[in-house]
A and B are shown apart, each in its own frame.
Chain A
């Protein structure tokens, strides 16, 4: 690595660099100290922006009754009114307040997203870690099932599941989204487990006579926390997107206010084609912002835990500080046209 470790302006570099990959230093874990990579995330600008956006949305969802008092399904004015002081984001094709609907719509959308994120991550951990750690027949079987679920396209599967078994309640959506979404986390965690189980500290625990489940839970899992967090974020985005698509197609419960059903009604009432863009834009923009915020955090985690991406970033930052351009080649520059 080409950066100057003596650089006093950035005393943390060595610490961050030492922490290495997702992979562990076999250090005893101390009390409540955050893992190093998590502290590095907190210092990352992209991650900070993502967390701020998410915190804002969480606040809006929690404080919905304060921000937009009243029942979002109430008919308050004439249909398709443009945004004004009385109705900040105008009214829908049925005369409901778009702002109120957007604020209240965050609740079910975010709740389903988070719950599915948690559920898929747990299933992914159980399947991925068992497959990776035990290997052999267990791995063959679990990997096979995982790959089948990965290859079957999720949206058509969701559509038939929702059409046949759907009752429109959210518990059902959480269930089917978990069924279609767990395979990707499982696959990632399996491959991470495969590389971790070869490490010396796992071998040491095995020789020390610890049981399989205990090794998985206390030795392997804590050392792949960044992967767990990343797959949780990814699954949450998947769930929000899939739920919205299902609701947009009309497979949700149209009487519940969520971002997806808002879009469903906007398109059913020809919101865009009559020029009432305000019925369509807010919900879509909110979904995009939330997904973008999750993606930013994920991108930052990738940047921080992948030593090669990080090293390059540090080189660029260091050369920027010294007002020199980054080296244009990866090795010693070659004189090509010596006269």
Chain B
């Protein structure tokens, strides 16, 4: 319990830090931020939009501490101001459903990457010098060196454009309405293959190496020798004795890796025009939609923090030592 309370406190602090950073950023721009942004629009912005931007950032003549108070209370109610590119829709409404697509993409690729990578790592460590151990690590290291968006573009070109195996863009077919029908779920699935596949390909090497290295340390423990001496079956030793204990440090690594995976997912989305937060972020950058950018930044950060909290809960289930 104490472990969880401490972690919760930490996540609240991290959330507060990013919220505050968001408040400080526009105020760090030289001069009057709204005017500076107006200059960047080269006169294309309406006066109402500038006014909305001032309001979104809580810019007023009130003392800074009061501005900060207004900002925090607005943010807590989910009010991130008005979007500039789709004026006058509120940012929260523009973000709307895109969070769920990013979560789907991020979770599917993280979970698959973790499971497949860890299994490869277990087998690699178990048969040292075997095929999985000598060929796979350098190969996956090489594949993992490519920029996400570059592999994604190639996959899009060959598998989607040239050979027409997978759909080119969006998260589901245009002629379908979101529903819980098999048609729709199937469509979401085929649209997910390329984006999730590229993230998987880039990230799997890290999981494999992490698991392999902890597995090698665990295999040198006395209780493994003991299990061998008892004559337990090799499978039982590999999974119930070695892999189970080697898994723990890697579960904590999942939380840390989520941030990286989400960052990769954002760029990958832009290539496939996948309607998640990353694609929206790109649109926001192209349209200089500052309030939308900030809203997306906070959304992603909060999602990663909550995911980490879930990983912690899982960790408590897995490791009896922290329950005390």
Contact = CB atoms under 8 A, between A and B. Distances in A.
Contact of B142 (A152, A287, A292, A312): A292
B29 interface: yes
Given A151-B304, A299-B137, A288 B146 contact: yes
Contacts of B111: none
A111 B164 CA distance: 40
Interface in A130-167: 144, 147-148, 150-157, 159-161, 163-165
A151 B14 contact: yes
A233 interface: no
Interface magnitude class on chain A:
35 or more
Contacts, number: 172
Nearest to B10: A147
Interface stretch (A5-13, A17-25, A92-100, A328-336): A328-336
A273 B161 contact: yes
B263 interface: yes
B267 A159 contact: no
Contact of A330 (B14, B220, B285): B220
Contacts of B46: none
A318 B8 CA distance: 51
A229 B124 CA distance: 27
Contacts of B266: 155-156
A289 interface: yes
Contact of B285 (A165, A237, A251, A316): A251
Contacts of B262: 153, 155-156
Interface in B115-170: 127-129, 137-138, 141-142, 144-150, 153-154, 156-157, 161
Interface string A305-326: 0101100100110001000001
Contacts of A151: 11, 14, 255-256, 259, 304-305, 308
Interface stretch (A26-34, A79-87, A219-227, A242-250): A242-250
A163 B284 CA distance: 10
Contacts of A154: 259-260, 263
Contact of B129 (A153, A161, A326): A326
Contact of A272 (B10, B146, B147, B153): B153
Nearest to A238: B260
B59 interface: no
* Residues of B contacting A: mostly: helix
A147 B297 CA distance: 18
Given A163-B285, A284-B147, A312-B128, A330 B228 contact: yes
Contacts of A295: 141, 144-145
Given A160-B294, A245-B147, A316-B129, A288 B270 contact: no
A165 B300 contact: no
B231 A336 contact: yes
Given A161-B25, A165-B25, A248 B267 contact: yes
A39 B159 CA distance: 45
Most buried by B among A148, A151, A161, A251: A151
A331 B145 CA distance: 37
A155 B29 CA distance: 20
Nearest to A335: B231
A46 interface: yes
B177 interface: no
Interface string A106-147: 000000000000000000000000000000000000001001
12 contacts: A151-B255, A159-B285, A159-B297, A249-B281, A272-B153, A284-B146, A287-B146, A288-B145, A292-B142, A309-B216, A312-B129, A332-B229
The 8 closest A-B pairs by CB, nearest first: A155-B263, A284-B150, A291-B145, A153-B259, A292-B145, A316-B129, A331-B228, A288-B146
Interface of B: 10-11, 13-14, 17-18, 21-22, 25-26, 28-29, 127-129, 137-138, 141-142, 144-150, 153-154, 156-157, 161, 209, 213, 216-217, 219-220, 224-225, 228-229, 231, 234, 255-256, 258-260, 262-264, 266-267, 270, 281-282, 285-286, 288, 290, 293-294, 296-297, 300-301, 304-305, 308
Given A154-B259, A302-B213, 13 more contacts: A156-B296, A157-B21, A160-B25, A245-B148, A245-B267, A263-B149, A267-B153, A272-B154, A272-B156, A295-B145, A296-B138, A330-B225, A336-B231
Interface of A: 46, 144, 147-148, 150-157, 159-161, 163-165, 237, 241, 244-245, 248-251, 263, 267, 272-273, 277, 280, 284, 287-292, 295-296, 299, 302, 306, 308-309, 312, 315-316, 320, 326, 328-332, 334, 336
